[in-house]
């Protein structure tokens, strides 16, 4: 348990730290591409200098983000080797493609974008800037394919001879990379990055407006940043709706935890806060039907009948089938070389129950319940923070359109405070996604308590505090460099 706890803490810390940099990379990449497009179209050097300032901040963030991503991938092998063995053929493929294709594309065009201003033509430089952002998004897609397979495993079969989950064909590979959860999660994650990058640009611009510095630069930058962030907000809302439907279909316990829904039913209410509900709204969000059935925590534990009329077994029944699958697997591996007939029977029993194999490792039905309070409140921080930020962005766009943004002092403070808030909402979203699917490393197939490596708790504790120290140092350095660059300001006036 100590190894499991510390392995989870270390991975959570690394992932949360890494997500400080990824969304800003995705959002700033789009913002600076838009600004450079304005420079090329308008042939105005003012926009060139503006682009170069934001590009400098992008480069600082990009460099630190790479280091944390590499550490995150290595932890799969060091702390989660059983998981890596079980899914290596599946999980490794998208990560390898991300490194070979997307990351190298991103890094190559980043070099041209940052160092090639006077070395290549305007149009080629503009193309390189856009391709840097596109490469970052493609990189995110392959990472999210791997993550989404853990949320909704598709396109693979369990091989009892190797004790691994494998892709048996090209069609299976395509099924993995077109996983509907991956598509919606990609749109949701990338466009939430647009919101983060856009809000960052707006917040820094309003910092200048508060100090009456670089007013024209700040006014124009804030409008571009708000436009990028608002486009991201609209896409986040759409993809969030789709993600809710996917959660109801593939991870009902996550949805029940996010709503604190103990007993479900038709016309299920949406909880704003404890005691304040909107009748029928959860059914609409989860099934797009006010009469749609949404199971609660107790329904999932005890078994229920879904909207398609399928009878979903209780967790106790799934656990029994899982233990049957594990026993059949052991029997098959013991007898396959000495008694082929008995081994064949054992394999048939395994194949009948393999979809519940992960449940065989659970000790009680209540093990499938994630930390409800954490998931419930994280969901409300995500949604509430997002709504507040959307309102601020609308105000920035309105007053920017009226050419009055420099006059509205209270809006400057709201926009500036939205910068830490947008990071908080992003972290809360990942808590819902990852804590909400506990206890599963792979939904229904592999719980976290059998996914760890055979290492000592002391070793994981040591690296936890080592990484914590290094990450804190990196973050302090990056923030200081960022602040110094912002204080110095753009060279546009």
Q: What is the pLDDT of residue 207?
A: 94
* Alpha helices (H) in 98-179, listed in sequence order: 104-115, 122-151, 170-177
Helix (H, G, I), strand (E, B) or coil at 103: helix
**Cα 285 to Cα 11, 21, 293, 343, distances in angstroms:** 31, 31, 11, 47
Neighbours of 447 (CB within 10 A): 21
* Average pLDDT, rounded, for the chain: 92
- Would you say 186 and 94 are in contact if contact means Cβ atoms under 8 Å apart? no
Give 401's Cβ-side CA count (13 Å radius).
Answer: 7
- Would you say 295 and 252 are in contact if contact means Cβ atoms under 8 Å apart? yes
Confidence band (pLDDT; 50, 70, 90) for 36? Answer: very high
Confidence band (pLDDT; 50, 70, 90) for 493? Answer: low
Q: What gap in Å lies between CA 46 and CA 38, rounded to an integer?
A: 10
Q: What is the pLDDT of residue 492?
A: 63
* Share of residues in the chain with pLDDT > 70 (%): 99
- And the tokens for 59? 């480069």
Model confidence pLDDT, tens digit, residues 336-345 = 989 999 999 9
Confidence band (pLDDT; 50, 70, 90) for 1? Answer: low
Model confidence pLDDT, tens digit, residues 475-488 = 898 899 999 999 99
Give 317's Cβ-side CA count (13 Å radius).
Answer: 9
Model confidence pLDDT, tens digit, residues 175-229 = 999 999 999 999 999 999 999 999 999 999 999 999 999 999 999 999 999 999 9
- And the tokens for 493? 């006036």
* Residue keyed to tokens 């090639």: 116
Buried b / exposed e over 402-436, threshold 16 CB at 10 Å, is eeebbebeebbebbbebbebbbebbbbbbbbbbbb
The full set of domain ranges for the chain reads 2-249+372-488, 265-361
Q: Hey, CA dihedral for 450, 453, 456, 462, is it positive or negative?
A: negative
> Interior CA angle at 212 toward 208 and 218, to 5°?
40
Is the pLDDT at 171 greater than 60, yes or no?
yes
For the whole model, what pTM was predicted?
0.93
Helix (H, G, I), strand (E, B) or coil at 442: strand
- And the tokens for 481? 């460099």
CA gyration radius for the chain?
25
Model confidence pLDDT, tens digit, residues 215-274 = 999 999 999 999 999 999 999 999 999 999 999 999 999 999 999 999 999 999 999 999
Q: What gap in Å lies between CA 205 and CA 216, rounded to an integer?
A: 10
Q: What is the pLDDT of residue 93?
A: 82
């Amino acid at each position: 348990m100590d190894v499991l706890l510390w392995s989870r803490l270390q991975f959570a810390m690394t992932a949360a730290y890494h997500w400080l940099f990824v969304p800003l990379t995705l959002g700033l990449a789009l913002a600076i591409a838009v600004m450079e497009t304005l420079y090329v179209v308008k042939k105005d050097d003012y926009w060139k200098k503006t682009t170069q300032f934001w590009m400098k901040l992008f480069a600082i963030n990009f460099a630190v983000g790479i280091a944390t991503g590499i550490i995150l991938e290595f932890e799969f092998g060091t702390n989660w080797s059983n998981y890596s063995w079980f899914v290596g053929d599946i999980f490794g493929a998208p990560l390898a493609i991300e490194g070979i294709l997307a990351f190298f594309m991103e890094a190559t065009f980043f070099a041209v974008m940052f160092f090639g201003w006077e070395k290549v033509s305007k149009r080629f430089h503009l193309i390189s800037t856009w391709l840097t952002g596109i490469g970052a998004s493609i990189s995110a897609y392959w990472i999210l394919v791997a993550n989404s397979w853990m949320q909704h495993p598709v396109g693979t079969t369990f091989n009892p001879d190797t004790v691994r989950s494998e892709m048996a064909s090209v069609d299976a590979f395509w099924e993995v990379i077109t996983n509907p959860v991956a598509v919606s999660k990609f749109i949701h994650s990338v466009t939430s990055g647009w919101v983060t990058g856009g809000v960052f640009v707006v917040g820094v611009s309003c910092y200048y407006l508060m100090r009456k510095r670089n007013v024209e630069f700040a006014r124009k930058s804030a409008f571009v940043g708000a436009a990028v962030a608002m486009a991201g907000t609209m896409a986040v809302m759409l993809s969030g709706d789709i993600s809710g439907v996917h959660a109801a279909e593939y991870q009902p316990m996550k949805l029940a935890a996010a709503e604190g829904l103990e007993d479900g039913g038709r016309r299920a209410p949406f909880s704003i806060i404890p005691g304040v509900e909107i009748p029928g709204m959860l059914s609409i969000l989860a099934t797009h039907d006010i009469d749609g059935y949404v199971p609660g925590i107790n329904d999932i534990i005890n078994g229920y009948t879904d909207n398609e009329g399928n009878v979903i077994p209780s967790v106790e029944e799934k656990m029994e089938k899982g233990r049957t699958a594990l026993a059949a697997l052991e029997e098959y591996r013991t007898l396959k070389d000495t008694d082929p007939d008995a081994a064949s029977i054992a394999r048939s029993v395994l194949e009948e129950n393999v979809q519940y194999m992960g449940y065989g490792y659970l000790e009680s039905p209540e093990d499938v319940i994630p930390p409800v309070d954490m998931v419930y409140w994280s969901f409300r921080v995500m949604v509430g923070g997002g709504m507040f930020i959307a309102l601020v962005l609308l105000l920035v766009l309105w007053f920017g359109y009226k050419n009055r943004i420099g006059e509205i002092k209270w809006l400057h403070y709201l926009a500036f405070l939205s910068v830490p808030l947008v990071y908080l909402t992003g972290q809360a979203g990942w808590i819902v996604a990852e804590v909400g699917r506990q206890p599963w490393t792979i939904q229904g197939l592999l719980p976290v308590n059998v996914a760890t490596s055979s290492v000592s708790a002391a070793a994981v504790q040591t690296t936890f505090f080592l990484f914590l120290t290094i990450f804190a140092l990196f973050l302090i350095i990056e923030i200081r460099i960022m602040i110094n660059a912002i204080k110095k300001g753009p060279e546009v006036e």
